């Protein structure tokens, strides 16, 4: 079996694409996990003694991959990595910008050996600039991008978004960049360097909030659970929970479904501008009406009238929801200790080349010996490299 014959994603759209994963934490592994789920053969190059995230993150980010431990600061470990990179289509890294140059594994060094290589980099703040050398994590990017300033109740001060959104955004953008670079390589025959950062991704995800400043000079304020510009749209309590209401149909239709047809003739709510000016009064009326029935009743009634409405669920309730169950958003896969674990699937459906969560997560270095053997190392060389990387030799006493 050749080095990359073990395709984790079966017949996925990226079957045959060979990826070397140098990433740690969340953003970089998000990219390589997506590539693996689409069928790419991904080999993680872990550092000696490297700690991975907690079990839940490990199950989510390290499935569908193989792992080899190499010390890239050692000439022998670096040579083994270079052999991997020579045969790869993609290398993904999220070191601070100077580290890859210091190790001699930057784009120029690797592309000189493998001109078809797509080299993908992810950093906190970009490859150059006054912050390039700083360590970067999700929450720092959230604050610097302006995202925290528009999150949370009005006047309450900055709030962190409840997920690592700049990590997942940056990882997903980098996946897009890798796919585009592979497509371009089909025309040119040459790879290229593609890179993004947590900061760039978070600012891009600010979307129309950022554009409000860029085009109109307006600094967006916090709006809590209200839509920033559309009225009425937001979250409201019901008799037994909460609903999100987004009356995209005519306001008259929403008022009728709400059981408050008198709102239509109220000059305070005659059009979008007047409703914006009197949002507080309108929200109070809607709040009082929605409190008279259950969440399930309002979800049924408003959707039947063409007004989008949905419940606000806790995570356990989400996975018990009938539509979520129908979508099969996770798969059960073998864990590193032989037990089954749940892993979120890639939220894409391909009619002919399905993505798949084929294998579960592994401990760092699980495949070191077999990968080195596939690279042509003999047993003595493998022993030397494995010993230097802090991995025990297999017991050959029997």
What's 135's domain CATH number?
Answer: 3.40.50.10540
Q: How many Cβ atoms from other residues are within 10 Å of residue 314's Cβ? A: 8
Query: Residue 337's pLDDT is what?
Result: 79
In a domain, 193, yes or no: yes
Question: Does a structural domain hold residue 262?
Answer: yes
Q: Residue 320 domain-assigned?
A: no
- In DSSP notation, 186-227 reads HHHS---EEEEEHHHHHHHHTHHHHHHHHHH---PPP-TTS-
Query: Would residue 229 count as lying in a domain?
Result: no
Task: Give the model's pLDDT for residue 9.
Answer: 47
Judge contact between 245 and 302, C-beta under 8 A. Answer: yes
Q: Does the residue 235 lie in any domain?
A: no
Give the count of domains, the chain: 2
With CA atoms as reference, report the closest residue to 68 among 53, 56, 83: 83
Residue reference for tokens 């309450």: 156
Asked whether residue 321 is domain-assigned, the answer is no
* 142 sits in which H/E element: helix 138-144
Per the model's pLDDT, the better-predicted residue between 269 and 63 turns out to be 269
Average pLDDT value for residue range 303-316: 97
φ, ψ for residue 350 (rounded to 5)?
A: -110, 130
Same domain, yes or no: 336 and 373: yes
Catalytic residue (choose from 138, 167, 207, 240): 167
d(CA 265, CA 284): 17
- Structure letter (DSSP) for residue 291: T
Tell me the pLDDT tens digit for each residue of 250-292: 999 999 999 999 999 999 999 999 999 999 999 999 999 999 9
Band of pLDDT at residue 351, cut at 50, 70 and 90: very high
Query: Is 266 a residue of the active site?
Result: no
Name the residue range of residue 72's domain.
18-205+328-388
DSSP run (H or E) holding 237:
strand 234-237
Cα–Cα distance for residue pair 315/390, rounded to 1 Å: 40
Closest to 196 in 3D by CA, of 46, 329, 94 = 94
Residue 331 has pLDDT above 80, yes or no: yes
Mean pLDDT, to the nearest integer, of 209-229?
97
Mean pLDDT of the chain: 93
Least confident of 102-116, 132-146, 358-372: 358-372
Assigned token pair, 11: 């017949």
Q: Is the pLDDT of residue 3 over 60?
A: no
Residue scoring higher pLDDT (389 or 122): 122
Which pLDDT tens digit goes with each residue over 165-207?
999 999 999 999 999 999 999 999 999 999 999 999 999 999 9
DSSP state of 28: H
What letter does residue 38 receive in the DSSP assignment?
T
> Contact at 8 Å (CB) between 256 and 305?
yes
Residue 251 lies in a domain: yes
> Of 18, 13, 21, nearest to 122 (Cα)?
21
Comparing CA positions, the residue from 32, 54, 318 lying closest to residue 177 is 32
Over range 216-234, report the average pLDDT: 96
The answer on pLDDT for 43 being more than 80 is yes
Buried b (16+ CB within 10 A) or exposed e, 82-109: bbbbeebbbbbbbbbbeebeebebbbee
pLDDT for the residue numbered 385: 87
- CA–CA distance, 348 with 149 (Å, rounded to integer): 32
Is 254 in the same domain as 340?
Answer: no
Q: What is the pLDDT of residue 338?
A: 79
User: Residue 350 class from Cβ within 10 Å (0-12 exposed, 13-18 middle, 19+ buried)?
Assistant: middle
The answer as to whether 317 is a domain residue is no
Give the phi and the psi of residue 125 in degrees, each rounded to 5.
-135, 5
């Amino acid at each position: 079996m050749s080095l990359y014959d073990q395709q984790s994603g079966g017949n996925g759209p990226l079957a045959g694409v060979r990826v070397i994963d140098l990433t740690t934490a969340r953003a970089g592994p998000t990219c390589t996990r997506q590539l693996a789920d689409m069928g790419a053969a991904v080999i993680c190059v872990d550092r000696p003694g490297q700690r991975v995230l907690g079990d839940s993150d490990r199950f989510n980010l390290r499935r569908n991959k193989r792992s080899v431990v190499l010390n890239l600061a050692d000439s022998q470990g670096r040579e083994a990595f270079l052999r991997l990179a020579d045969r790869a289509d993609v290398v993904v890294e999220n070191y601070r910008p100077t580290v890859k140059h210091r190790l001699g594994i930057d784009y120029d060094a690797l592309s000189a050996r493998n001109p078809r290589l797509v080299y993908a980099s992810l950093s906190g703040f970009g490859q150059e600039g006054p912050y390039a050398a700083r360590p970067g994590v999700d929450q720092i990017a959230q604050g610097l991008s302006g995202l925290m300033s528009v999150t949370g109740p009005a006047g309450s001060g900055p709030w962190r978004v409840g997920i690592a959104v700049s990590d997942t955004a940056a990882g997903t953008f980098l996946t897009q960049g890798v796919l585009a670079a592979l497509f371009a390589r089909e025309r040119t025959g040459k790879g290229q360097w593609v890179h993004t950062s947590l900061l760039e991704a978070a600012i891009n995800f600010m979307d129309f909030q950022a554009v409000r400043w860029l085009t109109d000079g307006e600094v967006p304020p916090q709006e809590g659970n209200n839509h920033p510009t559309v009225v009425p749209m937001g979250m409201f309590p019901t008799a037994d929970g909460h609903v999100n209401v987004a009356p995209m149909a005519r306001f008259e239709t929403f008022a009728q479904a709400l059981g408050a047809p008198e709102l239509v003739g109220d000059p305070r709510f005659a059009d979008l501008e007047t409703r914006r000016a009197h949002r507080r009064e309108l929200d109070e009326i809607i709040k009082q009406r929605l409190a008279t029935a259950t969440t399930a009743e309002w979800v049924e009634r408003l959707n039947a009238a063409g007004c989008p409405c949905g419940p606000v669920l806790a995570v356990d309730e989400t996975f018990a929801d009938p539509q979520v169950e129908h979508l099969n958003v996770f798969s059960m896969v073998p864990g590193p200790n032989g037990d089954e674990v749940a892993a979120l699937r890639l939220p894409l459906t391909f009619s002919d080349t399905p993505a798949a969560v084929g294998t579960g997560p592994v401990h760092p270095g699980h495949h070191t010996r077999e990968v080195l053997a596939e690279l042509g190392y003999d047993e003595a060389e493998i022993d030397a490299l494995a010993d230097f990387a802090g991995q025990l030799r297999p017991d050959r006493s029997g």
